[in-house]
Amino acid sequence: MRVVSLFSGGKDSTYALYVAQQRGWEVSGLVTLEPEDPESLLYHVPNIHLAPLLSECLGIPLAGRKAGSGESRELDALKAALTGLGVDGVITGAVASEFQKTRIEGVCHDLGLRCFSPLWRRDQAGLLDDYIMAGFRIMIVGVAAEGLDAPWLGRELDGKAREELLSLHAKHGLSPCGEGGEYESLVLDGPNFVKRLQVEESRKDWRGAAGTLAVTKASIVEKR
């Protein structure tokens, strides 16, 4: 099976890529869409500019494309990005968003491509376990939910953070994987990385009850 993987640098798209590789599929490339709309419901936005560096860390070529504002223009950009790649299918990191999954599947159908979402409807607490046990280093780079305050920005998604997220799920109904936009992530390293990403400089922005961590300088580091 020869596929491309929709890739944002966040935990879900990175782990979905890893699952495809574990299945023995040939992942010939990464496809990243950079939306014009900072509030895009279809594409991941925070630190998307780091995708080329992460592509090098993974050792997989990246095809990036900007997407205009509005659903139709975002879908047109996706269709253009997936056209003529000579693959059998597309990997997505969709976990629970019907909006995202059905629209990507529609574009794939139009192009005669199969769409695979290996994380779809998986138990979210179990997914967090999988991310951590597989050895992914995941940084929280955006928060927008009750119980997630400024100290969460830049924090690693480890076992302690997992327990706190599950506690917030029980208390406030927060999605453990951030599927309601409660938090955003950036993967720095993992078992399928040939090099790792090192954050050197960043800026925290806090507005009202939400905040982001924008990485302003990062480098690629050899792994021991």
Assess whether pLDDT exceeds 90 at residue 38.
no
Ordered by start, the domain boundaries in the chain are: 2-116, 133-222
**Per CATH, which fold does 133-222 belong to?**
putative n-type atp pyrophosphatase, domain 2 (3.90.1490)
pLDDT tens readout for residues 168-209: 999 999 999 999 899 999 999 999 999 999 999 999 999 888
| pLDDT tens readout for residues 91-138 | 999 999 999 999 999 999 999 999 999 999 999 999 999 999 999 999
Whole-structure pTM value:
0.96
Is the pLDDT reported for residue 12 higher than 90?
yes
Mean pLDDT across 65-86: 95
What does the pLDDT average to over 153-165? 97
- pLDDT at residue 216 tops 90: yes
Residue 82: which pLDDT band, with cuts at 50, 70 and 90? very high
pLDDT value at 75 more than 90: yes
Q: How far apart are CA 149 and CA 156, in angstroms?
A: 14
- Core vs surface per residue 67-88: b (16+ CB within 10 A) or e: beeeeeebbebbeebbeebebb
Q: Residue range 206-216: average pLDDT?
A: 94
**What pLDDT does residue 153 have?**
97
Give the mean model confidence (pLDDT) for residues 8-34.
97
CA distances from 85 to 157, 163, 168 (A): 34, 41, 42
pLDDT given at position 224: 80
44 pLDDT above the threshold of 90: no
- Within this chain, domains 2-116 and 133-222 share the same CATH topology: no
C-alpha 32/C-alpha 90 separation (Å) is 12
Helix locations, the chain, DSSP H: 11-22, 51-58, 71-82, 98-111, 124-134, 159-172
- Which amino acid is residue 167, in one-letter code? S
**CATH superfamily, domain at 2-116:** HUPs (3.40.50.620)
pLDDT of residue 39: 86
Nearest alpha-carbon partner for 188 in 109, 114, 131, 112:
131
pLDDT > 70 in the chain, percent: 100
Residue 73 structure tokens: 């223009």
DSSP string, 103-167: HHHHHHHHHT-EEE-TTTT--HHHHHHHHHHHT-EEEEEEE-STT--GGGTT-B--HHHHHHHHH
Can you tell me the mean pLDDT for 27-47?
A: 92
Question: Mean pLDDT of all residues in the chain?
Answer: 96
